[in-house]
Amino acid sequence: MESSVSTSTQGPDEFDRNVPRICGVCGDKATGFHFNAMTCEGCKGFFRRSMKRKASFTCPFSGNCTITKDNRRHCQACRLKRCLDIGMMKEFILTDEEVQRKKDLIQRRKEEEAQREARKPRLTEEQREVIATLVEAHHKTYDESYSDFTRFRPPVRNGPVTRSASRAASLHSLSDASSDSFSHSPESGDSKMNLSNLLMMYQEHSSSPESQEGDSSRLSMLPHLADLVSYSIQKVIGFAKMIPGFRYSSCESILTN
């Protein structure tokens, strides 16, 4: 009587992992491919022992026993015949020396992996907290969509602009950015006073004859660049304010260090 168990001998690369693994000898749950066939641990051990001892079995029945999980020990002859029928090969059996070498190799690889894992640098709890703080500050102050850029004055590319208009727009942008950036500092009043002096010096220099020379289109990018720089400064300072180490620093040290 032929067994109803599948005798497929497809290789591990062709095996469908979604299909339940069934031993091709007895129908028990298989643990993988052993000696070129999908089998359970019991039939794997039986085949290895039989081949190494060069055992010769005789069926006490008709020679066509149906091998199942429950009766696989009743007829060793038909069980061994079934092993050979599904493709199990004695050439795949390792000697005791080869088995020991394989075990030693596996153990050595485990030890090497453990050593590599132990040598990996480990972050302290404090370092992990710092990284988390930096990442949170970045996410809260960085606009991935660049939507704020739409508020910038566009650069004038098609022709020259008046020097007075460009200078006025630039000074206005710088003044707004500086006021926002320095507003958190107790010395903001002195800072604004120094900024006013700086802007007055810039106006005096711009009105000099030397500054009138050249193509007026050179200043066509100033409003756009002023907005861009002001925005960048505000974002950097906003990011720094969220870092614990910067919260207790003066405005001057934040900008100069």
| Domains in the chain with CATH codes | 12-92 (3.30.50.10), 125-256 (no CATH)
Higher pLDDT, 139 or 252: 139
Give the global pTM.
0.41
**Residue 148 pLDDT exceeds 70:** yes
CB 21, CB 10: distance < 8 Å: no
pLDDT of residue 24: 95
Of the candidate ranges 72-86, 134-148, 189-203, the one whose mean pLDDT is the lowest: 189-203
Higher pLDDT, 244 or 63: 63
pLDDT of residue 112: 94
